[in-house]
Amino acid sequence: MEYVILVLGFTIGFYMAWNIGANDVANSMASAVGAKAITLRQAIFIAGILNIVGAAFIGSHVTDTIRKGIVSPDVLNDPHVALVGALSALLAAALWVSFATWKSLPVSTTHSIVGAMIGFGIVTGGFSVINWSGLGAVVASWVISPVFSMVIAFVMFKVIVRIILSRPDPVGTAFRFSPLFIGMAVFVVIMSFVFKTPLGKNLALSTPMAFSSALACSVLFGFLGKRLLLWFRNVRTGEEGAEGIFRRIQIGTSCYVALAQGANDVANAIGPLALIYFLVTTGEAGQTVPVPYVLLVFGGLGIAAGIAMGGARVIRTVGERITTLSNTRGFSVDFAAATTVLLASKMGLPVSTTHAAVGGVLGVGLARGLEAVNFSVIFRIMLYWVLTVPMAAFTSMLLFKIISRIL
């Protein structure tokens, strides 16, 4: 019977990975597509490849049995209950993300699996097994992530307007300041890689070492980037103007977010699957379980399939339906989202890349005035954020009862 659960686990795990790809691809590619830095087809291809690479080569080979420590590991003492619970949680999270994707709305896949595990914990151990302060931190992230990112994106875009776009020669000014903006993007990317990806955490660089290395690389790549930009003569003399310079920087930041997405989000699908796999093969599980390399590749392929088959819906919502994006605005969004996730995580605050990306888009929209933002879309998105944890928890509880009677 356990092997039947294992087969179901692989099937539902792939389904969850598919949904992660379809929904979370907007985090990395929505602003680039909305700003027309790349086409939708190019975004899907690039994100698919980078997510596989991120999952397979940067993803963690160890995962927590209970995501975010919000549910007590005591609920895993009975191997059969743990198997059914992990299966129920995985399917519940996948169904909620799938529903949100069908509605073309971005939700946090991490919060979905957290909510599903909470439902499993309640139905097996009662409310006492829930770490309510940890859940409160998740709720706080609904405000922290988008507000942080909104403010940073607003300020960044206003700075770009002030020192570049409002000048008599915006193209020449953009070239003159390009090392600064390229360097800032590189700095945040390197710091995020060190502190926010499993491979970076394994390197265990100290904060001063990471800071100095990122600073040195940002200066180097800032001036190298300016040299490369000079090769694209259409940027300087063609119709793209100053926006064309930020277009190329934005593509780079979007690619990093896609790579990091594969590394980090694959755990949302493969974490419960690894637990199921470990329970079936060994009969027990601790605080963490090993993740075989084949599972990381499996998850990466699932994410890529979701990006290819369903990613367009949420990309269009975030990239086109909240506000009109240009390359400078898109760069501001990417920079704000990456900076928010980095700063908040270093401060020990819970964040969601999805929430940060939407907050960044809202920020650059507000920089142009209230009339530039489609608040009806924003309110719908926020409603789904609030519903994510309870809906995933309720669905997980229901599925646990059903599956327990079948298996």
143-167 residue pLDDT tens: 888 999 999 999 999 999 999 998 8
CA dist 212 → 84, 187, 343 (Å) = 47, 10, 17
pLDDT tens per residue, range 289-317 = 888 889 999 999 999 999 999 999 999 99
pLDDT of residue 71: 84
Q: Classify residue 348 as left (phi > 0), alpha (psi -120 to 50) or beta.
A: left
Q: What is the share, in percent, of the chain residues with pLDDT greater than 70?
A: 95
| pLDDT for 341 beyond 90 | no
Q: Classify residue 135 as left (phi > 0), alpha (psi -120 to 50) or beta.
A: alpha
pLDDT of residue 65: 67
Residue 301 and residue 21 in contact, taking contact as beta carbons nearer than 8 Å: no
Residue 318 and residue 361 in contact, taking contact as beta carbons nearer than 8 Å: yes
pLDDT of residue 172: 85
Residue 344 and residue 144 in contact, taking contact as beta carbons nearer than 8 Å: yes
Instruction: Please choose, from the candidates 70, 67, 101, the residue with its C-alpha nearest in 3D space to the C-alpha of residue 86.
Output: 67
Residue 344 and residue 59 in contact, taking contact as beta carbons nearer than 8 Å: no
In whole numbers, what is the pLDDT of the chain averaged over residues? 88
| pLDDT for 237 beyond 60 | no
pLDDT of residue 249: 87
| pLDDT for 369 beyond 70 | yes
| pLDDT for 377 beyond 90 | yes
pLDDT tens per residue, range 155-210 = 999 999 999 998 888 888 888 898 999 999 999 989 988 888 887 888 888 889 99
Q: Which two tokens stand for residue 269?
A: 């699908």
Q: Concatenate the DSSP letters of all residues of 59-110 into one string.
A: S-SEEESSGGG-B-GGGGSSHHHHHHHHHHHHHHHHHHHHHHHHTT----HH
| pTM of structure | 0.90
Interacting residues of 114 by C-beta distance below 8 A, sequence separation 6+: 67, 68, 70, 138, 389, 392
Q: What is the share, in percent, of the chain residues with pLDDT greater than 90?
A: 53
- Tokens 């190329």 belong to 248
